[in-house]
């Protein structure tokens, strides 16, 4: 790698918008897709529709346990900043079909009315249509007893726990809360250092614990990374892309000022520059943003692959409001059609393609590493950061589960549930919202380019 002189970097800083545009072009590593195609596809086809879908009742209410203790180190205590707080949703606000599908408890209003029958049916069938034959219901109940934990890439919250609460995602948006410092750094450091297949002797770029290596600027790290097998490179890029996406959300929804108790949130160009400018990050920022695009491709591919699961008449996005449920499913299927039309998908078949025994072992190692990362999210001290960290991690975990369940998805029965592949409502909500967050990241990145051009 040829190192640029300080004078070149000085020049680059003056033309940062043009420079980042140059860096974020062309074909991504480890796939055959170019960034310009993703920008156009996401901005004009996906973003408007996925944003609309996220506003639907089925996808806006997410049940999560924010009180699970950190399993890896002593709790640092929860963030006391007011913007870290998550406001749970009162039970009375949750659509009856959603409550019935996730828990054995019913609202009092439903106890002696037709709603009780609807709740009982939804309780048995979750997101599946309630007009099934008795034989199909028995098959579904039989599946419900089937332990599919072997397929999970995430540590799922127990929705029956008294600590699990519904959260309205629209009323608790992801944004910069002020949570930072050693606690936040320890979470990400643990993710990278202990779960990304990296030996201790190799240091990530910008790691403050790394010994001084002169003008290395991360070159030894990327030399090591390129020497890994495809699967382990992909793993690192997914985590880096997720980290970049979250950072982009925080920059785009930043507390700019607060006057008389009224906060004003918006894009913070200075914060964006600090996190992604090639000068301030020694070239690391643009690499992270490329990994964001790579992550987008992975989740886009998962949506295109899981479409047959939702296209079956047996599957319904059940909230109890028949009209809205039908509209929600129609919009979801429309998005699936768009994802299928994308012509430069990542080819997941290139992964775990070696000898069967070695591939199976590597896949299990891959799954367990990611599952461990999902557990680390319970160590985040800011409740709002924990909420969105858990949701986006679970969304990615669900995408990975889909990508490596192709045979099971292809053999799904049309009119009855299947033991081979199932998604819980929690996984469905996480999958859609996580992809929605990535689509928003790409949109916000375009916005920052415009803002940077205006401020230079």
Residues 398-426 have pLDDT tens digits of 999 999 998 899 889 888 777 789 999 99
Range of weakest confidence among 43-57, 118-132, 329-343, 403-417: 118-132
Q: For the whole model, what pTM was predicted?
A: 0.85
Residue 277 is part of which domain span? Answer: 128-205+235-455
CA atoms within 13 A of residue 426's CA, in its CB half-sphere: 23
Asked whether residue 144 is assigned to any structural domain, the reply reads: yes
pLDDT at 21: 56
Is 275 assigned to a binding site?
yes
Residues 215-247 have pLDDT tens digits of 566 788 999 999 999 999 999 999 999 999 999
- Range 314-335 average pLDDT: 96
Asked whether residue 358 is assigned to any structural domain, the reply reads: yes
Distances (CA, A) of 41 to 35, 291, 296, 303: 10, 17, 11, 14
pLDDT at 215: 59
Asked whether residue 62 is assigned to any structural domain, the reply reads: no
Residues 35-79 have pLDDT tens digits of 999 999 999 999 999 999 999 999 999 999 999 999 998 876 667
251 has catalytic annotation: no
pLDDT surpassing 90 at residue 8: no
Give which of 230, 255, 249, 266 is closest to 29, Cα–Cα. 230
Residues 252-267 have pLDDT tens digits of 999 998 888 788 999 9
Range of weakest confidence among 138-147, 159-168, 332-341, 386-395: 138-147
Count of domains forming the chain: 1
Is 240 assigned to a binding site?
yes
pLDDT surpassing 90 at residue 210: no
pLDDT band at 150 (very low <50, low <70, confident <90, very high): low
Asked whether residue 403 is assigned to any structural domain, the reply reads: yes
pLDDT at 149: 52
Of the residues 79, 84, 251, 382, only one is catalytic, namely: 382
Is 260 assigned to a binding site?
no
Asked whether residue 53 is assigned to any structural domain, the reply reads: no
Is 224 assigned to a binding site?
no
- State the residue for tokens 């992801």: 174
**DSSP track, 359-385:** HHHHHHHHHHHHHHHHHHGGG-SSHHH
pLDDT at 220: 86
Give which of 310, 303, 306, 325 is closest to 98, Cα–Cα. 325
Is 345 assigned to a binding site?
no
Asked whether residue 331 is assigned to any structural domain, the reply reads: yes
Range of weakest confidence among 85-94, 140-149, 278-287, 359-368: 140-149
pLDDT at 218: 73
Asked whether residue 190 is assigned to any structural domain, the reply reads: yes
79 has catalytic annotation: no
pLDDT surpassing 90 at residue 288: yes
- What is the rounded distance in angstroms from the CA atom of residue 313 to the CA atom of residue 333? 12
Is 102 assigned to a binding site?
no
- What is the rounded distance in angstroms from the CA atom of residue 418 to the CA atom of residue 416? 7
């Amino acid at each position: 790698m040829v190192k640029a002189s300080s004078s070149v970097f000085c020049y680059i800083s003056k033309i940062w918008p043009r420079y980042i545009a140059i860096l974020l072009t062309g074909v991504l590593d480890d796939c055959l897709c170019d960034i310009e195609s993703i920008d156009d596809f996401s901005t004009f086809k996906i973003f408007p529709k996925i944003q609309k879908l996220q506003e639907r009742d089925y996808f806006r209410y997410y049940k999560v346990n924010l009180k699970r203790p950190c399993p890896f180190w002593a709790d640092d205590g929860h963030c006391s900043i007011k913007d870290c707080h998550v406001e749970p949703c009162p039970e009375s606000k949750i659509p009856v079909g959603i409550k019935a599908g996730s828990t054995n408890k019913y609202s009092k209003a439903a106890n002696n009315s037709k709603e009780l029958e609807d709740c009982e049916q939804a309780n048995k069938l979750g997101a599946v249509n309630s007009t099934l034959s008795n034989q199909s219901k028995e098959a579904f109940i039989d599946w419900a007893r089937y332990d599919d934990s072997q397929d999970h890439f995430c540590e799922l919250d127990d929705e029956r726990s008294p600590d699990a609460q519904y959260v309205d995602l629209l009323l608790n948006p992801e944004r910069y809360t002020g949570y930072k410092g050693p606690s936040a750094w320890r979470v990400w450091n643990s993710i990278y250092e202990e779960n990304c297949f990296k030996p201790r002797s190799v240091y990530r770029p910008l790691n403050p614990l790394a010994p001084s290596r002169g003008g290395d600027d991360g070159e030894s790290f990327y030399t090591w990374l390129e020497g890994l097998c495809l699967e382990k490179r992909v793993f690192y890029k997914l985590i880096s892309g997720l980290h970049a996406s979250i950072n982009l959300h925080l920059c785009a929804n930043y507390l700019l000022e607060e006057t008389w108790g009224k906060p004003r949130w918006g894009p913070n160009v200075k914060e964006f520059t600090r996190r992604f400018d090639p000068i301030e990050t020694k070239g690391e920022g643009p690499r992270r943003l490329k990994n964001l695009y790579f992550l987008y491709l992975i989740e886009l591919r998962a949506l295109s692959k899981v479409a047959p699961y939702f296209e079956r008449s047996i599957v319904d996005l059940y909230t109890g409001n028949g009209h809205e449920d039908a509209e929600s499913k129609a919009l979801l299927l429309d998005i699936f059609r768009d994802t299928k039309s994308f012509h430069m998908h990542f080819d997941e078949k290139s992964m775990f393609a070696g000898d069967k025994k070695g591939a199976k072992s590597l896949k299990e190692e891959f799954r367990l590493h990611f599952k461990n990362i999902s557990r680390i999210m319970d160590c985040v001290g800011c409740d709002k950061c924990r909420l969105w960290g858990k949701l986006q991690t679970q969304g990615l975990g669900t995408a990975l589960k889909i990508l490596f369940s192709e045979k099971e998805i292809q053999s799904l029965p049309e009119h009855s549930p299947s033991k081979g592949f199932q998604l819980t409502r929690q996984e469905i909500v996480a999958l859609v919202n996580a992809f929605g967050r990535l689509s928003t990241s790409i949109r916000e990145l375009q916005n920052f380019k415009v803002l940077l051009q205006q401020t230079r």
